[in-house]
């Protein structure tokens, strides 16, 4: 194999350790839309619970959409929401015991949760904007822990 060929990294010799990653992202919208999301009065139904389930599904299925991502046995995946003026913060957390981290799973979960909220609100709001998807922290593994600091809320 030459150095410029795409390859999945061999993690077989790495130690199994407890891993955790947290990601966040935001979706902006009109105030009326935010009220409808909070009150679960959208035509499509409860956007937050649908987004939560979508986030968990995305975390579990990340290797199906990210070509070189290793399949992992996820032990925990969660999705929480925080409301601000005209925007929602989505925060996802993923854990496993494995040979590689769960950063991609946390980021995929966050992205899919935001896209699900977008899908459920696009019929009532043309101003939707997804932004600032990023890794907040990771724990475990040879490279050590990472903590970004306070969120950009």
- pLDDT of 143 reads 82
What are the structural domain ranges in the chain?
Answer: 17-141
Catalytic residue among 119, 126, 132, 145: 119
Q: Is 10 a catalytic residue?
A: no
For domain 17-141, which CATH number applies: 3.30.70.640, 2.40.50.140, 3.40.50.2020, 3.40.50.261?
A: 3.30.70.640
Which residues are within 8 A (CB) of 48 and not within 5 positions of it... i.e. 6 or more apart? Answer: 37, 40, 81, 117
The string of pLDDT tens digits covering residues 82-109 is 999 999 999 999 999 999 999 999 999 9
How open is the CA angle 50-107-147, to the nearest 5 degrees?
Answer: 125
DSSP-assigned states of every residue in 2-38: -TTS------TTSPPEEEEEEEEEEEE--HHHHHHHH
First to last CA, the chain: 45
Quote the DSSP letter at residue 120.
H
- pLDDT of 7 reads 87
- pLDDT of 134 reads 98
Mind listing the pLDDT tens digit of every residue in the chain (153 residues)? 677 898 888 888 888 999 999 999 999 999 999 999 999 999 999 999 999 999 999 999 999 999 999 999 999 999 999 999 999 999 999 999 999 999 999 999 999 999 999 999 999 999 999 999 999 999 998 888 999 975 555
């Amino acid at each position: 194999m030459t150095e410029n060929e795409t390859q999945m990294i061999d993690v077989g010799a790495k130690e199994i350790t407890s891993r955790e990653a947290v990601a966040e992202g935001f979706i902006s919208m009109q105030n009326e839309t935010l009220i409808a999301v909070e009150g679960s009065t959208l035509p499509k139904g409860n956007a937050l619970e649908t987004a939560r389930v979508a986030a968990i599904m995305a975390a579990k299925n990340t290797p199906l959409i990210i070509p070189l991502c290793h399949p992992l046995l996820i032990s925990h995946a969660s999705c929480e929401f925080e409301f601000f003026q005209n925007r929602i913060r989505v925060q996802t957390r993923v854990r496993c015991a494995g040979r590689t981290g769960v950063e991609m799973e946390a980021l995929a979960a966050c992205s899919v949760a935001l896209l699900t909220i977008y899908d459920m609100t696009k019929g009532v709001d043309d101003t939707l904007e997804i932004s600032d998807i990023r890794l907040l922290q990771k724990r475990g593994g040879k490279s050590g822990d990472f903590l970004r600091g306070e969120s950009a809320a």
